[in-house]
C-alpha cells in the first residue's frame, strides 16, 4: 500500500540569476512498512527534501499526497494536525527542550497528538524503555551524552505512533556500537509496527537495514 506519493517535487532558493535549485523534480512512492535510505554528500538537498516531506517547508513545485491531502498545497492551519497524527521526525541536532526532562520532552509530543496526563506519562516511559533509557527519564538534555540525546529524540519521534518517520542523519556522531543499535531499532520499528521510514544520511552503515537505497545528486534522486 502506498502511504505517500510524491510527484514533480522541486525547491528553489533565491530568484533570477541567483536562483539555486536544491531539490529537482523528485518522484517517489513510499510504501507502508518500508525503510528508504536517501544517500549523498552534505549540501545536496537531502535535508530540504525531508523538511518538505514532513510538511515543514513548502516546495516550489510538485505534490505530496499523504492521508488524502496534498500537504504541498494544504492550508497552513491544517499542517500541524497532519504532523501531529501522521508524521514523526528525528532531527539531526536533536531539538530537545533544555528545560524539560527526557520524559517530559516525550510527554509534550504526546500532548500534541492528543494524549495527556497519565496516558502520556505511561507512553513516554514505554518509549524510553524501548530505547534503553529507563534510568535517564528524569535527566535533562545537558545531563545526557550525545548518544542518549539521540535515543530520546528517537523515542519522542514515536510518541504519536506515526505512519511515516523521517530521520535526518539518525546515526550522526555515534560510535559503531551505538550506531548499529539505532539502525537496528529503526528496522524493528518498521517491521513490527508497519511504520514507513525515510532516512537521509551519508552513513554507509545504514544500507543493511534499508529496503531500498536512493542517491541524491544535483537535487534529483536515483534508486540504486
What is the pLDDT at residue 78?
92
- Show the 3-state SS of the chain: CEEEEEEEEEEEECCHHHCEEEEEEEEEEEECCCEEEEECCCCCCHHHHHHHHCCCCCCCEEEEEECCEECCCCCHHHHHHHHHHHEEEECCCCCCCCCCCHHHHHHHHHHHCCCCHHHHHHHHHHHHHHCCCHHHCCCCHHHCCHHHHHHHHHHHHCCCCCCEEEEECCCCCCCHHHHHHHHHHHHHHHHHHCCEEEEEECCHHHHHHCCEEEEEECCEEEEC
- Residue 219's pLDDT is what? 87
Measured in degrees and rounded to the nearest 5, phi and psi for residue 92 equal: -60, -35
pLDDT in tens, 39-60: 987 777 899 999 999 999 999 9
Compute the distance between CA of residue 208 and CA of residue 186 in angstroms, rounded to an integer.
Answer: 12
- Give residue 165's pLDDT: 95
Residue 118 contacts by C-beta under 8 Å, 6 or more apart in sequence? none
Q: Cell 525547491: give the residue.
A: 11
What pLDDT, on the 0 to 100 scale, is given for residue 40?
85
Residues of the chain with pLDDT under 50: none
Domains and CATH numbers, the chain: 2-14+21-223 (3.40.50.300)
Amino acid at each position: 500500500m502506498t502511504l505517500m506519493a510524491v510527484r514533480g517535487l522541486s525547491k528553489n532558493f533565491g530568484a533570477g540569476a541567483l536562483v539555486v535549485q536544491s531539490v529537482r523534480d523528485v518522484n517517489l512512492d513510499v510504501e507502508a512498512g518500508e525503510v528508504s535510505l536517501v544517500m549523498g554528500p552534505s549540501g545536496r538537498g537531502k535535508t530540504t527534501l525531508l523538511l518538505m516531506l514532513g510538511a515543514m517547508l513548502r516546495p516550489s513545485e510538485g505534490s505530496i499526497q499523504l492521508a488524502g491531502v496534498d500537504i504541498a498545497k494544504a492550508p497552513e492551519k491544517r499542517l500541524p494536525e497532519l504532523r501531529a497524527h501522521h508524521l514523526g521526525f528525528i532531527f539531526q541536532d536533536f531539538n530537545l527542550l533544555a528545560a524539560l526532562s527526557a520524559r517530559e520532552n516525550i510527554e509534550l509530543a504526546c500532548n500534541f497528538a492528543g494524549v495527556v496526563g497519565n496516558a502520556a506519562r505511561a507512553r513516554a516511559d514505554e518509549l524510553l524503555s524501548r530505547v534503553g533509557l529507563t534510568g535517564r527519564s528524569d535527566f535533562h538534555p545537558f545531563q545526557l551524552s550525545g548518544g542518549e540525546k539521540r535515543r530520546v529524540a528517537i523515542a519522542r519521534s514515536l510518541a504519536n505512533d506515526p505512519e511515516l518517520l523521517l530521520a535526518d542523519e539518525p546515526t550522526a556522531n555515534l560510535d559503531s556500537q551505538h550506531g548499529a543499535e539505532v539502525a537496528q531499532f529503526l528496522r524493528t520499528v518498521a517491521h513490527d509496527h508497519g511504520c514507513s521510514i525515510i532516512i537521509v544520511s551519508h552513513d554507509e552503515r545504514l544500507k543493511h537495514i534499508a529496503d531500498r537505497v536512493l542517491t541524491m545528486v544535483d537535487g534529483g534522486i536515483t534508486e540504486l
